[in-house]
Structures are given as structure tokens and as C-alpha cells.
Amino acid sequence: MIKANDSGERVLMKNNVFPIENGINLFIYGTLLPGCRLEKKIIGCSRRGPVLLEGAELYDLGAYPGMVLGRGTVVGAWITVSPDALILLDKIEGYQSALAAEDCPYLRRPVEVTRFADGQRVRLQSYLLNQDPKGLARINHGCYCRHLVEKQTSGNWILAYGSNLSTARLEERVGKLDRARSGWIPEFRLVFNKQSGTDNQHTAANIQFDPTARTPAVAWWLESNQISELDRYEGVPDHYFRIGVPFVDRSHPNEVEYLQGYVAHPDQLSSGRPSEKYLSYLKIGYQEHGLDLLEI
């Protein structure tokens, strides 16, 4: 679990006023991400939500990660910054356009990413590690926030906002559950735009980046073997990605934590409606955990 001061989050959104058309669009994937240690370096940016970069690999360099082009996927975020902020970020990353490429630890280069919210493909700039990654520890799933959380304990808090809100439903999948916390996922709204893996006529729950919204959710404590089993049910990584997601426990409403949750693969987005059976799991879960049914 990564914790972030809620006041910092509010300042970030309060200053989310830089005109996107006048800024530089960046793909960030490491310590600059929300909840990570250098997040405050980019206060004042415009945030566009999580995105997926295909054809890249992520590596753990100790205090920070590095990304190279390759055969995997990397999960990060799309932000827009001012020219002055870009100068600061270039300095943080050790990139200077005036220097020869071999003298820079990172190079700022264009990449094409896909937005999780709507499948939109956009061309951004990002910082690529300027060294051979041989001998470095690869982060195979490509999500740095998830990587940080998983390093802390053998089990983890996993967020549910769809049918897994129902205790009976989730226990059918992963076994006995004994710890849960209710609250919400800030800056994301609940949508039903994930194509069902078993029923082509209906859709399943997903969350979509929206700075003005929030999604009721429950954090379940799952052991590693339970998480692996749930990944199988959710179809990770072909149908859903398990990534770092913000969470506010309703008993601590001024504190944002970064846990893990499932977000639909952009290739799996579809229009439609959930089945009545699927919705019944949500309604049962909302009632079990004291969530507001009006927010479905």
C-alpha cells in the first residue's frame, strides 16, 4: 500500500488548468506517477489518466525504474506540462538535448500509447533508459505502482467495484475472505463498457478516469495465491490489467492510498448493458458494505 497526502492530491487537481493545446504531452511510468515519491514535482500539470504502452519493457533500477523498447507492455499515465515544467523534468531525468545521446542516462523520445478510458491512441513523449538492460530486474507486468505495492507484503489489498463486491461471489472464486474495507476510488467513474468474457450480449464493470467522479469500492485483503486465482478469473492481462489504483477508506476520508485494482484492457471496450444477474451481485455487495445504491 502506498499512501499519499490528500491535500497534495487536491492541489494537483486545483492547478489542473494548463491548456493542453499549449503544453507538452508526456507518458510517465515511474516515480512521477500519482502516489510515488516525485509526484509533487509535476503539480500544475493536466492529467489525462492511465495509458498503456505496447512494445516496451520496464526494469527496476533500485530507487526508480527504467523503460526500454521491447516486447512487453508498460502501464503509466498521460500528463501535459508547461515548457518550464518540462525543463525541470528533463533535469530530473538527466536529459539534455544539447548533449550527445551517449552522455544522457535517459532520452526523451516519442511513443504511441492507448488510453484505458476510451481506447484512444495518442503520440506522447517519454523518457527511455539509455543503456542495455541486461542484468537488470525486469518488472514483467509493466506497472511500477503495482510493483511497489507488491514488494511490501506477501498479500495485498485488491479493489472491487463490480461483481466481486459480493462476498459470496468472490469467495466462490478465491476462497475464504476475512478482511474488507469500504470506501471509494477517487477520480474514476463506474462504467459498464467491458465486453463480457462469457456473454457477448452483455458488458461488465470497469472504471474510467474522470477527475470529477468517484466509484464506490471495497478493498479485500487477499493472499498471493488468491490474487493469482482472481487474475485467472478476470483474464489478466488479455481482458483486464491489474494496476495501481487510488482508494479512499471511508473511515479516513482525507487520505488517499494506492492499492491495486482491475482495469479493462483497451481492446476489450464495448457498448452494451450488464445482465440482471451481474447487477444483482453489485446490489448485494453495495448492501453488504453499506454503499449507496444510487451510485450504480
Residues 90-102: tens digit of each pLDDT:
999 999 888 888 8
In the chain, count of helices (H) and strands (E)?
Answer: 6, 12
> How far apart (Å, rounded) are the C-alpha atoms in residues 205 and 35?
24
Q: Which pTM value belongs to this model? A: 0.88
- Other Cβ atoms within 10 Å of 263 Cβ, number: 23
The CATH code of the domain at 2-144 is 3.10.490.10
The whole-number pLDDT of residue 67 equals 98
| pLDDT tens figures, 31-75 | 999 889 888 877 678 999 999 999 999 999 999 999 999 999 999
Q: Residue 15 — pLDDT band, cuts 50, 70, 90?
A: very low
* pLDDT at residue 206 tops 60: yes
Residue 261 CA to residue 240 CA, distance in Å, equals: 9
Residue 156 has pLDDT above 90, yes or no: yes
Q: Which three cell numbers stand for residue 132?
A: 542495455
- State mean pLDDT over 233-255: 96
Question: pLDDT: is 209 or 295 the higher one?
Answer: 209
pLDDT at 221: 98
Residue type, position 34, single letter: P
- In this predicted structure, what is the pLDDT of residue 14? 35
Residue 198, burial from CB neighbour count under 10 angstroms (0-12, 13-18, 19+): exposed
What pLDDT does 7 receive?
Answer: 35
pLDDT band for position 22 (cuts 50, 70, 90) = confident
Q: Residue 9 pLDDT > 70, yes or no?
A: no
pLDDT score of 154 more than 50:
yes
Farthest CA pair distance, the chain = 61
The confidence band for 86, taking pLDDT boundaries of 50, 70 and 90, is very high
pLDDT surpassing 60 at residue 196: yes
Give the whole-angstrom CA distance, residue 25 versus residue 82.
9
Between β-strands 156-160 and 180-195, what pairing exists: parallel, antiparallel or unpaired? unpaired
The answer to whether 89 and 96 are in contact (CB under 8 A) is no
**Which is more confident, 243 or 153?**
243
Find out whether 73 and 146 touch, Cβ atoms under 8 Å: no
Cα 157 to Cα 100, 147, 160, 180, 222, distances in angstroms: 45, 13, 10, 9, 6
Integer Cα distance of 116 and 94 in angstroms? 29
Q: What is the mean pLDDT of residues 215-230?
A: 98
For residue 122, the surrounding DSSP H or E stretch is strand 121-129
CA 18 to chain centre: 23
Confidence at residue 2, expressed as pLDDT on a 0 to 100 scale: 58
Give the pLDDT of residue 10: 32
**Looking at the predicted structure, is the pLDDT value of residue 12 above 50?**
no
Asked if domains 2-144 and 153-289 share a fold, the reply is yes
Listed ranges 2-6, 8-12, 15-19, 109-113; the one with the highest mean pLDDT = 109-113
Q: What percent of the chain has pLDDT over 90?
A: 77
Helix (H) / strand (E) containing 148? helix 144-150
| Assigned fold of 153-289 | Hypothetical upf0131 protein ytfp (3.10.490)
Q: What is the pLDDT of residue 3?
A: 52
Average pLDDT, stretch 241-250?
97
Domain ranges across the chain: 2-144, 153-289
State the Cα–Cα distance between residues 3 and 6, nearest whole angstrom. Answer: 9
20: confidence class by pLDDT, cuts 50, 70, 90: low
Residue 109: predicted pLDDT: 97
- pLDDT tier at 6 (50, 70, 90 boundaries)? very low
Does 149 or 52 have the greater pLDDT score?
A: 52
Q: Record the cell numbers describing residue 276, joined without a space.
A: 440482471
